[in-house]
Amino acid sequence: MTGAAAGQVWAHVGQAFSETEYDVVVIGAGRMGAACALYLRELMPGSRLLLVEQGGLPNEDGATILAAGVWTAQDIPAAASAPSWKAKADWTRAQLAAQDSIQFQSRPLLSLHTENGPRRVPTASALAAHPGSLALLDADQLPFAEPDPAAATYRPGALAAAQAGAAVRAGADLMLNTQAHLIPGGVRLDRLTVTNTHQIVTHETRPVRARFVVVAAGAEGPELLEQGLGLHTTHARAYRQTPRLNAPSDLSDLSPVLRVGGLTLRPQNGGYTLFPQIHHRDPHGYVPTGGRLTGVPVGLRRETLEDLVGLMDNLPVLGTEALETGRSLADVPGAWLALPEGRADAPPVYQRLLPEVALLLGGPLADTLGLAVAFDLAAHSAGQSGRPWEDPIV
C-alpha cells in the first residue's frame, strides 16, 4: 500500500485518547494479531483500525515471545486437507524469509526415533557433520532420524514487533499498556499505569465502538469471549515452560533442531532451549506449580519434569547439570498457550463467531502456519476470494 498516512501510537496514559469509533479493533499484538492487523490494512486501506496490546511493546510477553520459532514441514497436518495446508506452510515460509529483522535462518531439523521408517536414515550418518549434537543423545537408543533439510528458525517476538510496526506505517493505530474487554458493539479499553509503589492500576476506562473485532489474545481469547459476550468455544489452553539446556550448540556449523519423543531442542544463544510436548489441556482454574527431583523442589512443573526424566535414557544430557531446573516456577520461563479445538496437534484457526466478532488462535503449530491463517481471516473479512498460496510460489 502506497501513500497511506502512518497511524498513531498511544504508549502511555499521558497521551490523551479521544477516539470513539473504529471500523476494526484487533485485540492482541502477538504475531497472529499483528499480522492480521497488517493484512487488514493492506486489503482494506480505507478502514480505520486499532491494534490493542496489554504490554508496553507489541508482544512484550506471552506465548509468542516464548514460541520455538521453528518452521518445519513436519508440522503440516497429515489430513485430507494436507495439500492446502502445505501450500499455506510454503507461503508462510516465504513471508518469513522476506523479513529482515527476525533472524530467519535455514537450519536442518531431525526427528529421532527408535524404529526405522520410510523417510528415516541412520542417526549417526545424519549427525556426522554435527558431533556436538550427536554428543547429546544415545544413538543406540535412537538409531533412526527423519530429516527436514528445508526447516528454518526465526524469532517470533521480533516478527510480531515488525508486523505491528508495519501495520502502523500502513495506517493502523496502536494502543499499548491497555486491556481490552469485549462489550456489545465494540470494546472497553482500560488504560493501565504504574503507581509509585509499582502497582499496575487502571488509569481510565473508555468504550470504543467497532464494526468488527478480532480477538487475537492467545490463550486469553476464549475467556474474553465468554466474559464479555457469553460466547463459549471448544478451545483450551495449557501452560508450557521452556527450560534451558546449557550444552554447547555450534552456530558456525548450524547445529540442527532435534526432536525426541515430542521434545524440541532448538539451538539458541550457544545452547539449547527446550520446548516440551503438550499432552492435554490444563483444567480450568489450574495454577502451575513446580515439581520435585530426587525430593528437591525445582521450578519445572511436574508434568514437564516427568517428561524430561522419561527421556533421560535417550538424551543422557538431561540428567546432567546442563539442564536448568530452577528453584521455583518463576526461574523457568513459561506462558499460557492456546490450544485450537482443545488439541495440541490442531493447526491455527479463525472463527467468525458473530458477524462482528472473530477469534484468531495460533497454538503450537503457529510457527509453520500462523501467518497464512491470519491472512485468511483478513481476506475473508475484506471479501477477497483468492489467496496468494493458491498461486505457485516462485
The pLDDT assigned to 391 comes to 66
User: Does residue 249 surpass a pLDDT of 90?
Assistant: no
Share of the chain above pLDDT 70, in %: 95
User: Does residue 132 surpass a pLDDT of 80?
Assistant: yes
Note whether 85 and 200 are same-domain residues: yes
Which of residues 311, 332, 353 is at a domain's end? Answer: 332
Note whether 187 and 307 are same-domain residues: no
The pLDDT assigned to 57 comes to 78
Angle at 147 between CA 70 and CA 132, to 5 degrees: 80
The pLDDT assigned to 81 comes to 66
Q: What integer best gives the mean pLDDT of the chain?
A: 93
The pLDDT assigned to 150 comes to 96
Cell of 181: 474487554
Which of residues 288, 311, 332 is at a domain's end? Answer: 332
We report the CATH number of the domain holding residue 163 as 3.50.50.60
Residues 6+ apart with CB under 8 A from 361: 32, 216, 218, 221, 235, 338, 340, 348, 349, 350
Contact predicate 157/57, CB 8 Å: no
Give how many domains the chain has, as a whole number: 2
Which of residues 305, 332, 359 is at a domain's end? Answer: 332
pLDDT digits (tens, 9 = 90+) for 268-317: 999 999 999 998 899 988 999 999 988 899 999 999 999 999 999 999 99
Cell of 302: 511436574
Mean pLDDT of 330-340: 95
Burial class of residue 131, CB neighbours in 10 A (0-12, 13-18, 19+): exposed
**What is the residue type of 317?**
V
Note whether 275 and 308 are same-domain residues: yes
Note whether 32 and 83 are same-domain residues: yes
Note whether 178 and 226 are same-domain residues: yes
Cell of 217: 489474545
Note whether 356 and 255 are same-domain residues: no
Mean pLDDT of 251-266: 89
- Higher pLDDT residue, 35 or 203? 35
Which helix or strand (DSSP H or E) is residue 106 part of?
strand 105-106
Mean pLDDT of 224-231: 96
Angle at 187 between CA 182 and CA 191, to 5 degrees: 110
pLDDT digits (tens, 9 = 90+) for 169-185: 999 999 999 999 999 99
CA distance 62 to 67: 9
Note whether 343 and 324 are same-domain residues: no
Note whether 118 and 101 are same-domain residues: no
| Distances in whole angstroms, Cα of residue 51 to Cα of each of 177, 179, 212, 234, 332 | 12, 11, 12, 25, 30
At 1, the pLDDT band (50, 70, 90 cuts) reads: very low
Mean pLDDT of 314-331: 95
Note whether 84 and 204 are same-domain residues: yes
User: Does residue 394 surpass a pLDDT of 50?
Assistant: no
**DSSP symbols for 245-257:** E-S---TTTTPPE
Distance of CA 173 to the CA centre of its chain: 23
CA distance 279 to 304: 10
Cell of 378: 483478513
At 251, the pLDDT band (50, 70, 90 cuts) reads: low
Note whether 14 and 126 are same-domain residues: no
**Beta-bridge partner residues of 210:** 22
Mean pLDDT of 9-21: 94
Domain extent, residue 262, equals 109-148+243-332
pTM as predicted:
0.94
Least confident piece of the model among 29-33, 283-287, 329-333: 283-287
Q: Is 229 strand, coil or helix? A: helix
Phi then psi dihedrals of residue 376, to 5 deg: -60, -45
Contact predicate 278/351, CB 8 Å: no
Mean pLDDT of 63-87: 89
We report the CATH number of the domain holding residue 260 as 3.30.9.10
The pLDDT assigned to 268 comes to 92
Mean pLDDT of 13-21: 94
Note whether 213 and 323 are same-domain residues: no
**In 114-234, beta strands by DSSP E:** 121-122, 144-148, 152-153, 173-175, 178-183, 186-194, 200-215
The pLDDT assigned to 390 comes to 85
Note whether 64 and 167 are same-domain residues: yes
